[in-house]
Each structure stands twice: as structure tokens, then as C-alpha cells.
């Protein structure tokens, strides 16, 4: 198995769009896992397009969702992954500190020869990966950044800058001053790492270049 983890500093950066773009560039090649950390039932819990709390799918310390009616819902991350041709797609919900056990179970459900893309930060502190790709969207308000972003960014092979206000949903985008400060902070934390500026809504071939293409191609 070859695992590439897509990580970021928060929601609305473009992680899912990067995964679907890769899948569209190499049809039928990649599998996917979306990791969701459920902090507390009903509080700070991710919600699907119907505003249903993700913890309703969590039946123990972790749950692995593989049924199509749950995954293939329009305008959800897993629905977009399936539509782009990622297969199989799994959604793993886990409470904090249970990602290692969740991965041990999940690993049995994925073919040994799979080329796997994953989305989610917390799991990648314990799940072994061949490489990490860090996506930063400076339009995300600084208050919404995750505390663990710097460690993951520093472990990454490349920083992809996706300045896309539309990706952050209904939140008010950060001001120009805040965007520049955020980019400067990421640059300082990851000096020496290659940085690629992209509009992830564009086809992969339009922006990726040899470096990013080689990271995902792995050949």
C-alpha cells in the first residue's frame, strides 16, 4: 500500500478538491479514506449536508462506514470522492486517541496493493504515510485554524497554496492583511519546503507541474 495523506490547517482549504482532482487525472487508480474526529456528541461535531451530526454514525470508539447510501450523498465529501472515481471510499469516524485502533481495523478492509489518498489531520499523527501534502488556504480566518497544523506542515513534502474564498463556505474570508500574515507564518514554519500556488478548481494538469505530479504518481 502507498498512502498519501492530505492535511491542512482547517476546514475549507480544498483538501477534498485536491483528492478529486488527482482521481480525475488518474482515473480508476486511487482509493480514499476520509478521517473524521468526533470530539464530543453534539458539540463541535462535523455535520453532513442535511445538518445531521456525524456522531450518529459513531457506534463505538470508532466506526468505518462503507455503505453507498451513506457515502454517496450529493454535496458531501465522500459523495464527491465517489463521483470523481475514487474507489473504494471509506469514511472513518473516531474519537480522539482511537485512530491507531481504527486504522488497524480499516487496514484490513483495503487491498494490499491500493494507492490510498486520505483526508484528515488527527489520524495522520499515528497512521503511517509515505508522504503528506499540506494545503493552505489563507482565506480561512485565523481563529478557525487547527492547533496541530504546524507539525503536519513541517512533515509534508510540499505546501500547496489554494487562495479560494469560495472554498470556505459562508464564513467571512480573512482580510488581505490577515491572508498575508497567514502565508508568512506558514512560510516561516516550513522554510525549505517547496511551495506551489494553485487554483484547485482547475484541472490537475493545469497547475500541478512535475514536482506535485511525481509525488502522487510515485513511479
What domains lie within the chain, and their CATH numbers?
2-217 (3.40.50)
Preceding omega of 34 cis (within 30 degrees of 0)? no
Residue 55: band (very low, low, confident or very high) from pLDDT cuts 50, 70, 90: low
What are the pLDDT digits (tens) for 2-51? 999 999 998 889 999 999 999 999 999 999 999 998 876 544 454 555 55
Choose between 160 and 43: higher pLDDT: 160
Which pLDDT does position 104 carry in this prediction? 95
- Given a cut of 50, whether residue 175 has pLDDT beyond it is yes
CB-based contact 157:131 (threshold 8 Å): yes
Q: What is the dihedral of CA 151, 154, 158, 163, to 10 degrees?
A: 60
Q: Are 149 and 9 in contact (CB under 8 A)?
A: yes
What are phi and psi for residue 207, nearest 5 degrees?
Answer: -130, -20
What is the predicted pLDDT for the residue at 43?
45
Q: What is the H or E stretch that residue 196 is in?
A: strand 195-198
Question: What are 100-149's pLDDT values in tens digits?
Answer: 999 999 999 999 999 999 999 999 999 999 999 999 999 999 888 999 99
Listed in sequence order, the residues at least 6 apart from 6 whose beta carbon sits closer than 8 Å to its beta carbon are 15, 18, 19, 117, 118, 119, 132, 133, 135
Amino acid at each position: 500500500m502507498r498512502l498519501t495523506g492530505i492535511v491542512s490547517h482547517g476546514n475549507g482549504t480544498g483538501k477534498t478538491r485536491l483528492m478529486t482532482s488527482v482521481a480525475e487525472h488518474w482515473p480508476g487508480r486511487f482509493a480514499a479514506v476520509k478521517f473524521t474526529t468526533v470530539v464530543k456528541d453534539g458539540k463541535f461535531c462535523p455535520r453532513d449536508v442535511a445538518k445531521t451530526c456525524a456522531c450518529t454514525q459513531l457506534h463505538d470508539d470508532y466506526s468505518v462506514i462503507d455503505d453507498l447510501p451513506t457515502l454517496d450523498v450529493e454535496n458531501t465529501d465522500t459523495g464527491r470522492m465517489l463521483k470523481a472515481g475514487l474507489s473504494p471510499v471509506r469514511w472513518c469516524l473516531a474519537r480522539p486517541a482511537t485512530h491507531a485502533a481504527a486504522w488497524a481495523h480499516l487496514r484490513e478492509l483495503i487491498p494490499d496493493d491500493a494507492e490510498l489518498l486520505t483526508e484528515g489531520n488527527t489520524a495522520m499523527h499515528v497512521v503511517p504515510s509515505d508522504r503528506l501534502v499540506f494545503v493552505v488556504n489563507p482565506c480561512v480566518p485565523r481563529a478557525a485554524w487547527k492547533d496541530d497544523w504546524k507539525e503536519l506542515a513541517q512533515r509534508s513534502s510540499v505546501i500547496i497554496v489554494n487562495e479560494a474564498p469560495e472554498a470556505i463556505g459562508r464564513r467571512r474570508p480573512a482580510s488581505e492583511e490577515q491572508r498575508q500574515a497567514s502565508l508568512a507564518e506558514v512560510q516561516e514554519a516550513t522554510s525549505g519546503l517547496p511551495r506551489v500556488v494553485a487554483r484547485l478548481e482547475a484541472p490537475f494538469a493545469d497547475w500541478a507541474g512535475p514536482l506535485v505530479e511525481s509525488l502522487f504518481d510515485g513511479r
